[in-house]
Amino acid sequence: MTSAKPSNVVSFMRRHWQILVLIVLILCFPIVIKTYFLTRVGIVLALFAVNITGMTLLTRYAGVISLGHSAFFASGAYLSAILTVRAGLNPWLSMAIAAGVTVVFAYLFSVPFLKLRRAYLAMATLGLGEVAFLLAKDLTEITGGVSGIPGIPYLRLGRIVLSEDWQIFYLFGCFVVFFVFLTENIGQTRLGRAYHAIRTNETAAKAMGIDVQWELSRLFCFSALVSALAGSMLAHFITFISPESFTLDFSFTLLIIVIIGGANIWGALATAIVLIGFSEVFRGLQDLSMGFYGLLLIVGLFVFPEGLAVLFRRGYARRKISGNDIKPILPNLQNPMNRQTPVQNLQPKKGKILQLSNISKNFEGTEALSEVSVSVGYNQIMGIIGPNGAGKTTLLNVINGFLTPLEGKVIFQNIEVVGKTPHEMARLGLGRTFQLINLFKGMTVIENVMVGCHLKGKSGMLMGGLNFGRSRHEETMIRNAAMRSLEFLGLVERAYDVVENLSYGEQKLVELARALAMEPDLLLLDEPASGLNSVETESLSDILRRIRDRGITIILVEHNMPLVMSLSDLVFVLDFGRGIALGTPEEISRDKEVIRAYLGQEV
């Protein structure tokens, strides 16, 4: 018992040694740097560092390009200034109210505009920043216009007025450490993986149960909150604000820093120190700063397309898994391909897991599905076959919620699910693989599979960021579930390889492992054998039987007829969007309508 605490402390220091270094640097900076000018440069850097934390998650993790964060920066500053100067409120209370109001405003903006993507979203946020600047300049009775708001009080801690630069630096440094710690931890949790998944493959992210719009809105609001707090801190630091402090140059500077920094807060901080330090030291060249930033951005993207984050990438993403990593999770591991380790503990069920009734779907007048009706029972494998363009993948997309049928009913586990989204279907117990490999590039094999466990966790941004007991327990549970899935498919030795480095067949298995990690009741497989050689196909056949033996129902769309006929309990045949036959493999192989559809003639 006496050694538990030291080991925990040592473990924490190993995981967060960068944070400890940052704390030491912040503590030493005012002591070593005693000049007024450089201390002020340090305060400006701290303000940018706070802003950068939220933007790194938003832009580099989730891929949302925002050019309007100057609006949230201004909102925090002006609201806090107005509440303290004109309403006489306590500055800390004013900061809290300003942050809350800004979050509400950000959420109202995010609901419609986050449905846009890339350039369209960037233009919308650009307009937001410009509107905020014009309001600050033109609403003279509220904001003071170009004259600004003077006389903003300093922050206080009890009776201590934080008016000295070193005091302000240490206060802002505390905010920096808190938000950097929060951001770093979030990036390594289920939420960080969800953001990466959304950025790299939004379709697959939805199928894994990630509510894309909600997660982006929540992240957008978090970044707005951080910017609002930084704006309030600025107001109480310089005790005067005017519209010139909140131009679009601020948003562009933030964006350039996080793009150069990459998907790692330490890369962004290093970039900020260089760029902001350059800007402050060479104030006489300020007109050239944006041009210099732009040039540096172009060069940086050519040299480090993923940003400076590649220099700060954690070692575990590149090392091989060792026996010490596996033993606590998978005791007595022998031959993974032959072990009968259950993916889940499901009790056998009776009845129909899925019923489709008169499903029709058109695309601009083209009939993709026409009055398709079929059902599949629990613990069965149903193969769906048909010529190219028969509507097989369209039918899976209707079941999965990616498409809404023109008419008809989809009943999944006695629930009418027409109109439900893919992430809602995942919550109901539906797993999915795709015709083309849909993995999350840039992530390791185990991280890809852990995304499939997204629904196993409940911790939000605060709990995940603070890395408290519940969040750490969820991460352990998610990692163990992912390892079990990899063990089941014989991929444990490749767990820490970057997924792009695997062969095509192995990538197919990773996608299957990710779907199995969801512990689905029904698994939709869209051409899982495409591109596989005969040995890999035979191995896949054995795997699918073992999945069925563990109580998971499978709907298999496949062109490999021997595979379908050897595996399926039932085979459903589509031709030009119409169901033409349903029966056992033996019955289907003798059906004249099926033979005509495939060969174009009667036999």
Which amino acid belongs to residue 81?
A
DSSP three-state, residue 573 = strand
Question: Is residue 603 predicted with pLDDT exceeding 50?
Answer: no
Question: Is residue 273 predicted with pLDDT exceeding 80?
Answer: yes
Rounded CA-CA distance 576/389 in Å is 7
Residue 4: per-residue pLDDT? 47
pLDDT tens per residue across span 314-350: 444 444 444 344 433 333 333 333 334 444 444 567 7
With respect to residue 297, please indicate whether it lies within any of the assigned structural domains. no
Query: What band does 227 get if pLDDT is binned at 50, 70 and 90?
Result: very high
With respect to residue 381, please indicate whether it lies within any of the assigned structural domains. yes
pLDDT tens per residue across span 468-484: 888 889 999 999 999 99
The CATH number of residue 353's host domain is: 3.40.50.300
Dihedral pair phi/psi, residue 31, rounded to 5°? -75, -45
Residue 347: per-residue pLDDT? 57
Of 485, 555, 493, 486, which Cα lies nearest the Cα of 527? 555
Residue 172: per-residue pLDDT? 95
Asked if 396 and 505 sit in the same domain, the reply is no
570 touches 379 (CB < 8 A): no
With respect to residue 6, please indicate whether it lies within any of the assigned structural domains. no
Which amino acid belongs to residue 244?
E
Residue 280: per-residue pLDDT? 67
pLDDT tens per residue across span 70-103: 999 999 999 999 999 999 999 999 999 999 999 9
Which amino acid belongs to residue 398?
V
Rounded CA-CA distance 290/69 in Å is 17
Higher pLDDT, 480 or 36: 480
Rounded CA-CA distance 90/84 in Å is 6
Asked if 473 and 502 sit in the same domain, the reply is yes
With respect to residue 285, please indicate whether it lies within any of the assigned structural domains. no
pLDDT (mean) for 552-563: 93
With respect to residue 5, please indicate whether it lies within any of the assigned structural domains. no
pLDDT (mean) for 264-292: 74
pLDDT tens per residue across span 121-152: 888 899 999 999 999 999 999 999 999 999 99
Residue 236: per-residue pLDDT? 95
Angle between helices 286-303 and 265-281 (to 10 degrees): 150
Asked if 501 and 424 sit in the same domain, the reply is no
Looking at the 3D structure of the chain, how many domains does it have?
A: 3
Q: What HEC string does 534-555 produce?
A: HHHHHHHHHHHHHHHHCCCEEE
Query: What band does 555 get if pLDDT is binned at 50, 70 and 90?
Result: very high
Residue 267: per-residue pLDDT? 87
pLDDT (mean) for 289-310: 70
396 touches 557 (CB < 8 A): yes
Asked if 139 and 221 sit in the same domain, the reply is yes
DSSP three-state, residue 198 = helix
Question: Is residue 155 predicted with pLDDT exceeding 80?
Answer: yes
Query: What band does 205 get if pLDDT is binned at 50, 70 and 90?
Result: very high
Residue 253: per-residue pLDDT? 86
Encoding tokens for residue 393?
């993948």
Rounded CA-CA distance 180/202 in Å is 26
Residue 287: per-residue pLDDT? 58
Residue 167: per-residue pLDDT? 94
- Picking from 519, 538, 559, the residue at the C-terminal end of a domain is 519
Query: What band does 279 get if pLDDT is binned at 50, 70 and 90?
Result: confident
Asked if 379 and 473 sit in the same domain, the reply is no
Question: Is residue 59 predicted with pLDDT exceeding 70?
Answer: yes
Asked if 235 and 322 sit in the same domain, the reply is no
Residue 7: per-residue pLDDT? 61
Look at the chain and count its residues.
603
Residue 103: per-residue pLDDT? 97
With respect to residue 3, please indicate whether it lies within any of the assigned structural domains. no
Asked if 465 and 536 sit in the same domain, the reply is no
Residue 313: per-residue pLDDT? 58
- Picking from 519, 549, 569, the residue at the C-terminal end of a domain is 519
With respect to residue 323, please indicate whether it lies within any of the assigned structural domains. yes
Rounded CA-CA distance 89/161 in Å is 16
Please give the share of the chain, as a percent, with pLDDT higher than 70.
88
Encoding tokens for residue 154?
């300093």
Rounded CA-CA distance 36/45 in Å is 14
Per-residue burial over 292-325, b if 16 or more Cβ lie within 10 Å, else e, is ebeebbeebeeebeebbbeebeeeeeeeebeeeb
Residue 600: per-residue pLDDT? 61
Of 145, 106, 149, 143, which Cα lies nearest the Cα of 128? 106
Q: Token match 């150069």: residue?
A: 260
pLDDT (mean) for 357-365: 91
Asked if 326 and 382 sit in the same domain, the reply is no
Q: Strands 522-526 and 553-557: what pairing? A: parallel
Dihedral pair phi/psi, residue 425, rounded to 5°? -65, -35
Residue 261: per-residue pLDDT? 84
Higher pLDDT, 596 or 448: 448
Asked if 452 and 370 sit in the same domain, the reply is no
Higher pLDDT, 359 or 7: 359
Of 193, 236, 242, 198, which Cα lies nearest the Cα of 216? 198
Encoding tokens for residue 249?
């140059």
Residue 415: per-residue pLDDT? 94
Mean per-residue pLDDT over the chain, rounded: 87
Residue 102's domain spans which residues? Answer: 19-247
Asked if 111 and 232 sit in the same domain, the reply is yes
Asked if 124 and 37 sit in the same domain, the reply is yes
541 touches 381 (CB < 8 A): no
Q: What does DSSP assign to residue 347?
A: P
With respect to residue 272, please indicate whether it lies within any of the assigned structural domains. no
Q: How many angstroms separate the Cα of 543 from the Cα of each of 403, 472, 547, 553? A: 29, 32, 6, 13
Asked if 240 and 198 sit in the same domain, the reply is yes
Most confident stretch, 269-278, 337-346, 498-507, 589-598: 498-507
- Picking from 519, 551, 583, the residue at the C-terminal end of a domain is 519
- H or E element at residue 515: helix 504-517
Q: Strands 149-150 and 381-385: what pairing? A: unpaired
Angle between helices 118-138 and 91-113 (to 10 degrees): 140
- H or E element at residue 276: helix 265-281
For the beta carbon of residue 519, count every other beta carbon within 10 angstroms: 21
pLDDT tens per residue across span 412-442: 999 999 999 999 999 999 999 999 999 999 8
